Structure 1
């Protein structure tokens, strides 16, 4: 992510008046990546096929993460953190613009926890400047209430990872399912989070299933009536794990990351690009070029409806429990073609999986209806239509499934 000129960052860090902690890069240690089994992943019976469709495209997209996990040395202890890094590029060497962008970054990361919780953001533990790697690091604390049943630090995983690991909402051979109520609740929580962020007059600019995080166990016990089933645990007390009880994928307590590109909705400036990662490219609105600096007059500036478009893609993935890269050829399709294909071919199937109300909400996000197909793109009107046509119906659905 190219945001700031490297030669300006040290000065900005030193002169900053923000209360946001400025960290030394050596205080943050990256955790070694480990396999699912090493992390305490879900047990699957021997012989079960856990592989995805083995096309080259899906394999190439399998290991993408927009963050990494580490520990922060503070108060003579090691605090677990989620870390996002922004690459510093030489193309943004204007001092005044760099200062504005840096201040915006501090503003959004330094919001009070009670405000940040409204749009499901993690608490920022501080930022650092890694001179050698030409990067700015953003560190986030784990949620206070997240817990692991194993007594260890909770696992951290993103929504895209769940799509890869659990390829169908019901996997009988693995004794795992994704709850319909949980999917609808997740959709409502994400929609409410983005709307709350917009109410504060901020735009996210980086919404995707890669930037939706969960903390805890990937699968959990579930309740039917008064019976509690704990799939994959020693429910008999005889030392054997009973795998006969199904387990449910954990979609509780989602958190958004990716705020490094956020800016006030009323700002007359912008950062330059989203991540260049091809997996994130399709989440951008077809009319947004990814650059809206003043020296690029032909580029479309970022609008509120573009956030809702990206959100709509995530809602579509949740509703069908099918990742975007399974629905369209993200390497070769133009963004306008991606939208047309999704609206014409895939959204109708939502009526079968999550109902017509959900399908209409997603169609509203993707079709251009929020801006009346470009005729009324004013942010306040777009937000009002989103609340009425998307958030309200999803809220009613979630209440009916609670």
Structure 2
């Protein structure tokens, strides 16, 4: 698995690259073991977690390509390079020292007694190729080019190609003989990875940790047994992986449950009588209020032909409203209409509501990267023929990102605050996708801030600060239209198509099955709005088809003007998102999201 993920080849560069390549190949002899008992499977899964941490660390640093070596040589602190070499050498020795693996760490060769039989499947173990074996020992050219003495002077540290082939041929696959001793190996492997992680700048660590967590979730795919194993193996050590595996397993269980077996979750049914619903309010300031020139608000980033103009005022928000629950307090309710005479459709709606409520219940606590609101459950407003998802609101009022950008009374937030907002939203979508879940309605209208900007202004320290909205803590909502990655069931039609359709991929408008790439495209448009600090409705015209809107307005006019406002790297990130199309696989979309998150995380203003 690891060799496939990192793509190690005979072309590894540098001393650290050779060490890394050898460690990755040696890890494979642990994680390829088969027919283990339950406890041994859990222990081997812990090894697989550490293997993935190493693989993603090497990929992010470009170890095999020599980028880490070049970076460390260019550092003013030579101790950092020596530390990296020391950690990698000790890790390499740990996973390749056969006597230590047997004596100290409780492993034995397959067939010597232990918890499993790796050859029981009838396949001979795959031996490293000569090129792979050579990659694990220092090449003559490396030594001649002046490797430091501390890298190569210790005798017997690395074996020749012939020695590696012989040893690996004898040892084949390892199995666990002493589980108590094996936990010492797990602790040492974790310590090595912790040390390597510290080579990253602190600001990049969260993105790196998300990367290996998501890769592990992706590698498990939709295998419930593997997800359960990840959940138990990460318990007490990696809480984020534990929570993510649990949520993904829950989602797959819900998705695979036949309709005939569905039973509503009574604990999530919110009686309509326990809710007091506030009347709907307009989602933007009145249309007669003109944009003030030079106020730094939504008109400050205008495009051709739109300076000083206001987009049309959206109608009152009939899809979402605020209210009060008898015991939970302030709530936000998102509504889905139904036909009371269409029984099958109503049952399908109830199941969708029940599944979403179970997924989102306490998700904000278990998985903070989703930036979601805790869901109390769902209600049936029979008098108005609609179901509602009920969320516990962090405050009694909120503003949408669309409203903040549109308001003529608010100034544009600082650039670094907007970049952090973009990064937070990218993390939320990346995390949602790691659970094989699609949002399908990502737009500035479905991004909220609590309390509303106007309520928050009352507590601002100065009059100037009151005019700048706080965008540091967004919440992603609109999950009434979200779907599992594999879902082909009914689709809930958005109640505000004038907003949602602008953010949809043209291929989605043509009716093609929704995929992760379409969410990535929608994110790109949201990032574009954040960069320009102007809503896209200001540029959209009714005669624009979906393709013309993307090709002739967004890509040809708006994106090129983005660099002068937010910088080249931000503009390139937006372009990366907007180039996502229907031909992109989910795996490719995941890679793009990883790059988007890491790029936004690294931008410094």
Is the structural similarity TM-score above 0.5? yes
CA–CA separation in structure 2 for the residues paired with 1:350 and 1:328: 17
Deviation, structure 1 residue 66: 4.6
The verdict on how the C-alpha distance between 1:231 and 1:15 changes in structure 2, with shifts beyond 3 A counting, is same
Which one of the candidate residues 93, 103, 120 is aligned to 2:344?
93
Give the structure with the higher percent strand.
1
The verdict on how the C-alpha distance between 1:154 and 1:104 changes in structure 2, with shifts beyond 3 A counting, is closer
Q: Does 1:320 align with 2:532?
A: yes
CA–CA separation in structure 2 for the residues paired with 1:136 and 1:115: 26
Matches within 5 A, 1:1-400: 15-17=263-265, 19-20=267-268, 22-32=269-279, 58-61=311-314, 63-64=316-317, 66-74=319-327, 79-89=329-339, 93=344, 97=348, 101-110=352-361, 112-143=363-394, 155-166=397-408, 176-216=411-451, 218=453, 230-232=461-463, 247-289=467-509, 299-329=511-541, 331-340=542-551, 341-368=553-580, 373-375=581-583, 377-388=584-595, 390-397=596-603, 400=604
Deviation, structure 1 residue 328: 1.8
Q: Secondary structure at the match of 1:344?
A: helix
Q: TM-score, normalised by structure 2?
A: 0.48
Q: TM-score, normalised by structure 1?
A: 0.71
Deviation, structure 1 residue 310: 1.1
The verdict on how the C-alpha distance between 1:289 and 1:18 changes in structure 2, with shifts beyond 3 A counting, is farther
Deviation, structure 1 residue 338: 1.2
CA RMSD of aligned residues (A): 3.5
Deviation, structure 1 residue 55: 9.9
Deviation, structure 1 residue 185: 0.4
The verdict on how the C-alpha distance between 1:64 and 1:350 changes in structure 2, with shifts beyond 3 A counting, is farther
Is the contact between residue 179 and residue 249 of structure 1 (CA under 8 Å) also seen in structure 2? no
Is the contact between residue 354 and residue 378 of structure 2 (CA under 8 Å) also seen in structure 1? no
The verdict on how the C-alpha distance between 1:186 and 1:131 changes in structure 2, with shifts beyond 3 A counting, is same
The verdict on how the C-alpha distance between 1:95 and 1:132 changes in structure 2, with shifts beyond 3 A counting, is closer
1:152-197 Cα offsets, whole Å, 9 max, x none, are x553111011112147xxx7xxxx4421111000000001100000
Radius of gyration: which is bigger?
2
Is the contact between residue 116 and residue 123 of structure 1 (CA under 8 Å) also seen in structure 2? no
Flag structure 1 segments of 5+ consecutive residues without an equivalent.
1-10, 37-44, 144-152, 222-228, 233-242, 291-298
CA–CA separation in structure 1 for the residues paired with 2:419 and 2:531: 8
1:223-274 Cα offsets, whole Å, 9 max, x none, are xxxxxx9212xxxxxxxxxx6x774321110001001122221334352533
Give the structure with the higher percent helix.
2
CA–CA separation in structure 1 for the residues paired with 2:588 and 2:329: 43
The verdict on how the C-alpha distance between 1:66 and 1:32 changes in structure 2, with shifts beyond 3 A counting, is closer
The verdict on how the C-alpha distance between 1:70 and 1:98 changes in structure 2, with shifts beyond 3 A counting, is closer
Q: Secondary structure at the match of 2:332?
A: strand
